Structure 1
Amino acid sequence: MKLKNKIFLMVGLLVLLSGGLAACGKNKEESTKEAANPKEVRIGIIRVPNDKQVAIQQDFFKKYFDDKGIKTSFMFFDSGVAANQAFASGSIDFAEMGYTNGVVACATELPVELIWIHEVLGENEALVAQKELGATSVEDLRGKKIATPFSSTSHLSLLKALEEAKIEDDVTILDMETAEIVAAWERGDIDAAYTWEPTLSKIKETGDVLIDSRELAEKGYLTANIDLVHKDFSEKYPNLVRDYLLALNEAVELYKDNPEKAAQAAADALEITEEDALSQMKATEWLTLEEQVGDGYLGTSDNPGKFHDVFYDTAVFLKEQGSIKRVPDEKEVNRFISSKYVELALEK
């Protein structure tokens, strides 16, 4: 090779090398910028005495986020529908809801992931009839008006209860938020309602419980409250999602070790009595990190748990009811329900 050609080759290599180093520097800078912690984590809550309320009151979230310079803010949602709207607008990072709204989120391809089962529902959700009806069974509601928040766990449970009683075509179902249910109940505008706490306790004062979600779970219709995370957040900050779950798990462990202390924390957060909080908490089943990835629930990344099947079956059911336009396939469901953050938490 001639000297002149060698010089040109060396110059060319230097130009390429310097360009590559500049690009690497730029990528490193962008990567660092992406990994920088957010100033705030925005968390949606519902008014039930569960692990999240305990974690808030016991400052478990602050324990994991404050030392990183991250503020935690909490926003109340009366329904999963409202929480999904917040996810769609990008105004929230985490939110809890009944898992049926998680099915809706999956079916409508919201950019979220299911990362946690808060509690498996039991006596804390129930179908209650006005006492003056004298109803003793679901069948006695034939021809009556029943309220429930649509696309919620209560809605699903109500429809299953009506199917079991073979009166699904013989009642009028009204879509109402929980606050509306109480007002309609007191006016006598509705004959029955399927709802959750604290609304449930209010209508039980002048009503009769006909069936609850624990009874339906025993018939194979499991329902649960779950937590979703926005993918914009989880893809940037997987370790913060892990820390979020560690905070929730501390609340679960506290409840299992000292239920009275956990109940007092939830009661303080919700401004109810400790007795009411403990009663509602005992009506559900709380899961630790290890239990979350058990075969009966989320399962692992390699071996999806039974909850994936429950999720898919619910999607089929909601499609039949006209609540969603399409049923996500098995692969979509398995991508939507993510165990990897629980697995990260178990590694720490």
Structure 2
Amino acid sequence: MKHLLKTLVIGSAFALTMASQAMAQTKVTIGHFGDPVPYKALIADGSLEKATGWKIEWRQFASGAEVNAAMASGGIQISEIGSSPLSAGLSSGLPYQMVSVGKVIDSSEALVTRNGSGIEKPADLKGKRIAVPIGSTAHYSLMGALKMNGMTERDITLLGMSPPEIAAAWAQNAIDAAFVWVPVQAKLRENGKVMYTAGDVARAAGFHTFNAWVANDKFAAENRDGLAKFLRANFEINADYHKNKAAWNADSPKVKAVAASVGVSPAAVVPMLDGTIYPDAELTMSANWMGGGAAKTIKGTAEFLKSAGRINKTADDYGQFVNPEFARAAAAK
């Protein structure tokens, strides 16, 4: 009997220890931005937690620079991040890897000029007060727009602001223009006009921008299955959006869930979603992205940032930081 009790006690203690470890391993903090994207429809109903088995804490950031700081401190394990701060983070040796592409940016980020600012054409940007989240994809696109017109940041009054700060400054007529993403961009357009979208700058000058999914190196190595399941859920919701776009209307439960997460009306979300490409498994694994193209884009971005004095060094090869393993597993189902 004593032997049996001892066995039961040891067995129970072992089970509790293993359960505690499992619970600790499944707590994941994921960074995101306050923009409307299809996967946010999966947050409200807990679909991502069900798919991965993780207990997820979502942490919102105002810019990729904040994501890099959180990754450096170990405060998050996974995050969205724009291609410009991604290039900066990888160049500085932060311990994360790109595991997938989250979205390809087009009209969801744009340079908006305020009505009454005196800006009617690109040349009028010179000397004006232009706000942007420093180090973001929007900042990179702004630098591209200036270069297209023979200017640099020295030719304008550059003001580093978060999206909420941009909205407040705009309301006070304290800035003349801003390069920013939705939903704040939509507010600016109520009293302004779009001069360039990020897509315009990419097509005209090669300043391509995207959001990546990145994961802490150690976390990725220890959570391969969960990470693949996380990406698979993203691929599926992205595919659903593009295949059934008409169904993603203001009355759609998915759009309502996205709207609730962003804090705007469902009717406002519909056109906001339309300004971006959300990659499914096939596009993600294509030569343009996880098949090699992403590393080339990151390298080009890093080299431009270094030439502009925004970062101090670049890596010889960014392919070492782009890991297609998890996206490939997710695509294979």
Q: TM-score, normalised by structure 2?
A: 0.87
> Are the equivalent residues in 2 in contact too, given 1:49–1:263 (CA < 8 A)?
no
Q: Which moved more, 1:204-213 or 1:164-173?
A: 164-173
Separation in 2 of the partners of 1:123 and 1:245? 24
Separation in 2 of the partners of 1:39 and 1:293? 27
Separation in 2 of the partners of 1:202 and 1:218? 25
Separation in 2 of the partners of 1:39 and 1:339? 22
> Are the equivalent residues in 1 in contact too, given 2:290–2:322 (CA < 8 A)?
yes
Q: Secondary structure at the match of 2:148?
A: helix
1:225 aligns with 2:211: yes
Separation in 1 of the partners of 2:95 and 2:287? 26
1:157 aligns with 2:141: yes
Q: Deviations over 1:171-212 (max 9, x none)?
A: 121111111111222222221111111111111111121111
Q: TM-score, normalised by structure 1?
A: 0.83
Q: Which residue of 2 aligns with 1:173?
A: 158
Q: How many residues align?
A: 306
Shift in Å, 1:268: 2.7
Shift in Å, 1:254: 2.4
> Are the equivalent residues in 2 in contact too, given 1:263–1:281 (CA < 8 A)?
no
Matches within 5 A, 1:130-141: 130-141=114-125
1:255 aligns with 2:247: no
> Are the equivalent residues in 2 in contact too, given 1:217–1:223 (CA < 8 A)?
yes
Sequence identity (%): 28
1:47 aligns with 2:34: yes
Alignment root-mean-square deviation, CA: 1.8
Shift in Å, 1:58: 4.5
- Regions of 4+ moved over 4 Å: none
Shift in Å, 1:53: 1.2
> Are the equivalent residues in 2 in contact too, given 1:51–1:118 (CA < 8 A)?
no
Shift in Å, 1:326: 0.3
1:298 to 290, 293, 298: 290
Shift in Å, 1:126: 0.7
1:316 aligns with 2:303: yes
Separation in 2 of the partners of 1:119 and 1:88? 23
Shift in Å, 1:123: 1.1
Shift in Å, 1:295: 1.2
Q: Secondary structure at the match of 2:103?
A: strand
Shift in Å, 1:60: 2.4
> Are the equivalent residues in 2 in contact too, given 1:95–1:228 (CA < 8 A)?
yes
1:97 aligns with 2:81: yes
Matches within 5 A, 1:1-348: 38-65=25-52, 68=53, 70-168=54-152, 169-219=154-204, 220-259=206-245, 260=248, 261=252, 262-299=254-291, 304=292, 306-330=293-317, 333-348=318-333
Separation in 2 of the partners of 1:195 and 1:205? 14
Separation in 1 of the partners of 2:210 and 2:201? 12
AA partner of residue 192 (structure 2): G
Unaligned regions of 5+ residues in structure 1, if any?
Answer: 1-31
Unaligned regions of 5+ residues in structure 2, if any?
Answer: 1-17
AA partner of residue 285 (structure 2): V
Q: Which moved more, 1:152-161 or 1:223-232?
A: 223-232
Shift in Å, 1:157: 0.4
